[in-house]
Structure 1
């Protein structure tokens, strides 16, 4: 019995060994799987050279083109008027901004005018006797003299004798003294040089104003200008009268402006040149920040692409027979997001979007071909 069991076990071992050997032989003859080549799908664009307008972006704040800082040249009490001297108050041209009490000074002016009138009256008898030919001229001046009005200019001297006589009596010096006092009297009243609005008020009505004290600021809100600093590379491109598009920082409003002035010198520290842009709009306010788009020049036979697509050593990826390759290019202008390139022939297929890990010799498939195959199915 024992011999029978051992015989059966031996036969089974032989059978299993044979089956295992057959499986090993079969596994050696099985072909290895071939790895499929990975082909990336990319977005491409076909080059078509055109004329590209080079736009220089710049930001700056608005400042009133016509502005006046108000200073007192005389001393006195600020007299109340029918308009409050407060920021935001509007005035028309010639309207009184500030009126300083000048009663005391006015009395001294009138006294000098009276002295001049008395001096003229005193010489009239001598003029009648010694200079009868000019007497009527001076008599007419005296008749028209009014101390409550501005002193008129003295009659023109017709001879040296008349000049010596009038000057020797102190008439000329007295006249210029009166005119000097009248000029100073006019400084007690400050009028608006143009129609505008008060933006700063540093004194209140009834307060004492001292000579040399700043009183406020007055601007014309109809015209503003924006100062922008640009790279010295654009010095030869900026032209006076060039139209400029101005945008608010949130891109909700657009305004039209003109380059009014360009500084003739370059800042030695920053190597920038300053340009001034005029803009008119009722909605604008002083101090607003705007972004300017200045048309510098037009570059012919060029294209504009995303700045990230430009490789080191001034090269870009091109697609040739489903394989990526590089091509040297000539950058002519950089902006924050794009670059203007030249020396790319028309019809060249370039990448439209950046491909992570891209390299020369990489197999690619344009996205347009993938779509067309799906449509065909």
Structure 2
């Protein structure tokens, strides 16, 4: 009996507790939800002020010597020691001997041919005295001035048809040109510096047997260099010879002034670019040095330049109107790696200076105050 009473009391208590808990849940359901405060982002802004923007084309390349000679041998022989070593870095003045190849054997054959020419002319002198006394003296003067140790002088001018037949028939003219041909080849045993410069490559050393057609080295003029750059074909009509160009070293520590020396007349069909050549002179420059060039191509009137990340894919930019973001259509005039030039954006328009993550039209924003030095006019 007692057990039934206890169970009844517990049942009633459970029902009363459930009723109280249900009322508690109902009361909490009608409580107002907390209001989440609206976040207003502070953004960096600029005020548009249109002006003239110069278009600067960025390009880069390596320096090469404007005057360069690849040295090849046209004859065969032993490389003889000269007054200066034939080594990379060795300087030579214009007219100095770069390479001397032993020509003693060939020189003897040249002297033999010159002696034969002299003897041939001397053999016809008695006949000239008898048959052509009027031309005898000029040939006698030629013989008197003939020196085997000097370059063979030009033959006297033949004045008449009979004299021409006589001289040609004796083989004098053919012997003369044979000697001149040998003398011309003899000069190839000695390579002369065509300008003052420096050796950048030496592939042979003194005592080496040099063969015909063998490359011997490279010789450059280190006072003036040239850089080849590829520029978009859209600037083909604005690149002009003589335009000044600022060249910057890779570490941006030094700048050099160059000029456009040549512009290629054709466009590369593969890359659709045109090649321009920039000449530059400076004692610090070396061949192979990598430089960046800024070429002044043209000027865009009534334009501004902004960060390229501010331009949307839809050719629009964000502007601020009554603390809300909005978008306006723009006309890009030029793209660079980091910026874009826009035409005809209305003066006084307030635009973003830096991109805002998650930005959208209608977003509430607050322009940073001027005291923070974050707002300024853009041009």
How does 1:60-99 map onto structure 2 within 5 Å? 60-99=61-100
Please state how far the C-alpha of 1:157 moved relative to its aligned partner. Answer: 1.1
Distance in 1 of aligned mates of 2:310 and 2:97: 63
Distance in 1 of aligned mates of 2:189 and 2:41: 83
Distance in 2 of aligned mates of 1:311 and 1:277: 36
- The Cα offsets for residues 326-374 of structure 1, whole Å up to 9 and x where unpaired, read as 01001111111111111201111100111111111111111026869xx
Please state how far the C-alpha of 1:162 moved relative to its aligned partner. Answer: 1.1
TM-score by length of 2: 0.89
1:272 aligns with 2:273: yes
SS at match of 1:187: helix
- The Cα offsets for residues 260-314 of structure 1, whole Å up to 9 and x where unpaired, read as 1111111112222111110101110001110111111111111000000001111
1:329 aligns with 2:330: yes
- The Cα offsets for residues 224-257 of structure 1, whole Å up to 9 and x where unpaired, read as 0011112222222211111111001110110111
Distance in 1 of aligned mates of 2:183 and 2:162: 29
Q: Any unmatched runs of 5+ in structure 2?
A: 1-23, 374-379
| Aligned twin of 1:105 | 106
1:134 aligns with 2:144: no
1:59 aligns with 2:81: no
Please state how far the C-alpha of 1:122 moved relative to its aligned partner. Answer: 0.8
1:42 aligns with 2:48: no
| Aligned twin of 2:358 | 357
Q: Any unmatched runs of 5+ in structure 1?
A: 1-22, 373-377
Distance in 2 of aligned mates of 1:270 and 1:360: 39
Please state how far the C-alpha of 1:201 moved relative to its aligned partner. Answer: 0.4
Distance in 1 of aligned mates of 2:169 and 2:27: 142
| Aligned twin of 1:3 | none
- The Cα offsets for residues 56-103 of structure 1, whole Å up to 9 and x where unpaired, read as 111100100100000000000000112110000000001000000000
TM-score by length of 1: 0.89
SS at match of 1:174: helix
When the two chains are superposed, the root-mean-square deviation of aligned CA atoms in Å is: 2.0
SS at match of 2:266: strand
Q: Paired residues, what number?
A: 351
| Aligned twin of 2:247 | 246
Please state how far the C-alpha of 1:37 moved relative to its aligned partner. Answer: 2.9
1:121 aligns with 2:122: yes
